[in-house]
Structure 1
Amino acid sequence: MAEKQLDVGNELVDNLKKNNDLGWHFVSQKSAEQGIKDGKYFMVVTIPKNFSKNASTLLDKNPQKMNLSYKINPSQNYVGEVVTEQAANQLKSQVATKITKEYAKSVFAQIKEVGKGMTTAANGAKKLNDGSTKLAEGNKTLTKGLDTLANSTLTFKDGTSQIQVAVSEATAGTQKLANGAKSLSAGENEFSTKLGAYTNGTQKLANGSAELYPGSNKVTSGLADLKNQVPALSSGATQLNGGVDQLNKGIAELKKKGGCWTKRKQYTRTKSKVATTEKWSK
C-alpha cells in the first residue's frame, strides 16, 4: 500500500452506522462498559488505535495482525448468542471488503501503468518490452500480496480467549485480480507475436510485388505483339472470303450450262493460303 493512507477503523464505523440489521450503538468506552454490566448490550467491540496501521502492513515482509477487542454479556440468552455471532460475521465481512478494495486499488494502479506502456507499443518494440517488464513486476507484487493476504487473520480477543477469523473472503476478489493480470500478460504476449507475424507478412508482400513487376511487363509486351498481328489476321480472313465468293460463282455458272460434271478437291495447305482445284467435264 505504498503512499496510500488507510483509515480502516473509521470507515468500518461509518459503514456500520449505515447498517440497521443488528442495531449498532456507537458510544464512549465508559458507556459501553456500563451498558454491558446492565445487560443493555449483548457485546461490546473496541477498535484499537493501531488497527488501520496493522492493515497497511499486509504487503510488508512481516505483516501485523488486526485485532478487534470485544466483551460479551455473560448473562445473554440464546438470542444474544445469535446476535453476537452475526455481529462477528458482519465485522469480518466489512473489514475484509475494505482491505480488498484498497488492495485492489493498488494493483489496478500498477496495471494502469502497464496499460500506458502497451498503448504506445505500436511505436516500437522497445516500448513494448518496457511494458512487458512493468507487467512482470506488477504480477510479482500481486502474487506476493496474495500469499500474504491468504496467511493474514482478523483476530477478536477477549483477554484469555481469542477467536481467529480468516480473511479468506478477501483473497477471492484479489485472486480475480491475479487472473485478470495473467490474462493481460497473455494478451500482451499474443500481441507481440502477432506484431512480428505482421512485419514478416508485409516483407513477403513487398518481395512478391517486386517479383510480380517483371512478369507484368512481359504480359504487357505480349499483348502489344498480339495487337500488331490483328491487322494481318483480318487481311487474311478478307482474302479467304473473297476466294469463297469466286468459287460459289463458278459453281453457279456450271449449273447454268447444264452439263454433267464431277468435282475433286485437293487441299494444299501453306502458312496462310488455301487452294482448291476442280476438274469437270460435260
Structure 2
Amino acid sequence: ILVGALYNPTDRLDNITAAIVNDDKAVELNGQLVPLGRQLTGGLVKGADDQPSNIDWVISNDDDAAAGLKDGTYTAVVTIPENFTAASLSTRPGETPEKATIDVQTAPDARVVDGAITAQLASTASSVFGAELSSQYLTNVFLGFTTLSDQLGTAASGAHQLADGASQAADGATALKDGLGQLSTGASGLADGASQLAAGAAPLADGATKLASGASALATGTRDAAAGVDKLATGADGIAAGNQQLATQINGLADQIPPSFATDAQKLADAAPQVNTALVDAAAALQKAADECTGTAEQCQALRDAADAANRALPQATQTVAQIGSLAGQAAQLPAGIRAIAAANQQLADGATGLAGGAREAATGLGTIAGGIDGVAGGGTQLADGARQFGSGAQALSSGAAQLASGVSLSEDGAAQLADGVGQV
C-alpha cells in the first residue's frame, strides 16, 4: 500500500500554480543580445508540445512570488538569477566557466511537486535552447533547491551518472596505482642518487678547505716575497745613488787634470830612450877621455875616477830613466782611464735605478697576485661551506625521497584497494 501511494505521485496531481521570477540580465554575444532567462520564462509559460503538464506558470516578481508562496497562491516559485545568461555563456574562450543556477522553492506541504517542476524545467530548456546550445552551455546549468528533500527529484539521473563516474573512477584508480608504482620507483632512485651526492659532497668540502688553506699560505708567502723585492728596490736605489756620486767625483777629478798632461807625459815617455842613449854615450866618452888622457898624472887619475863612477852609476841611471818613461806613458793614459771609470760608474748607477724601478713593479705585481690568491682562498672557503650545505641538503633530500618512496608504496597499495572497491561499486 505504501509503495502504491508513493509511486509517481505527480501523475495524480491536479493543476498547480507556479510563479516564475526572471531576474536574468541579457548578455551581448557576437554583437547580439542573448536573453536566456527571458527565453526560458517564455518556454515555461507556453509549455512543451511533446510533454503534457499540469503546472500553470505565472510570470511574477520577487516580492509577489514570496507573498504568493507564503499565502498559498503559488505552490512553487522558480527564480532565474540575474547572472543566469552570463554563467551559461561562461564557457566561451578566455572566460572562467561557472555554474548557472535556477532556484526552486516549494511550499513545505508541497514537496511532491519537486519532480514535476524539475521535469518541466529540463524539458522546456531542451526545447527552447536546442540541442546545440544545450550541449555547449546548459552543461553548466543545474537546478538548486533550498532543502535537502529538494534533491530527491534528481537522484535517479544522478545514479546513472554515478555509475558512469564509478567506471571512470575505477579506470583512474588503476592508472593511479600504476602511476604511484612508477613514482615510488623514481623516488627510490632519487633517494639513492641524493645519497651518492651527499657522499661525494664531503670529499669536495675537504678538498675545498685544503685549497683555501693552501691558497692562504701562498698569499702570505707572496706578500713576503713582495716585501723582499721592495727591500731590493730600496737597496738598488742606494747603489744607484752611490755610483752616481762616485761617477760625479771621478769626472770632477778628471776635470782637474791639465789638458796638456797626457801630451806632456807622452813626450816624456818618448824621450826616455833618448836620455838613456845620451847617458851611455856620455859614460863612454868619459871613459875614452880617461883612457887617452895626456895631462898630468893627477888630471888623468881624476878622469879615470870619474869614468869609473859614471860606469858604476850608468845601469841605475838608465833603469831609472826607463821607469820614468814607462810611468810617463802610463800617465798619458790616465785622463782617458779616469773618464772610462766615471762612465762605468754612471752605467752602474743607471742600471741600479732601472733595477729599483723593476723591483718596485715586481713588488706591486706580487701584491696584486697575493690579493688574487686571497680571493681564491675565500672562494675555496665558500666552496667548502657550500659543499657541506649541499651535502646536508642532499642527505635530507635522500631521506625525504626514501620516505616519499615508502609513502607512495603504501599509497600504491591503497590505490589497488581503491580500484578493487570502485570496481565492485
TM-score (norm 2): 0.25
Q: Which has the larger radius of gyration?
A: 2
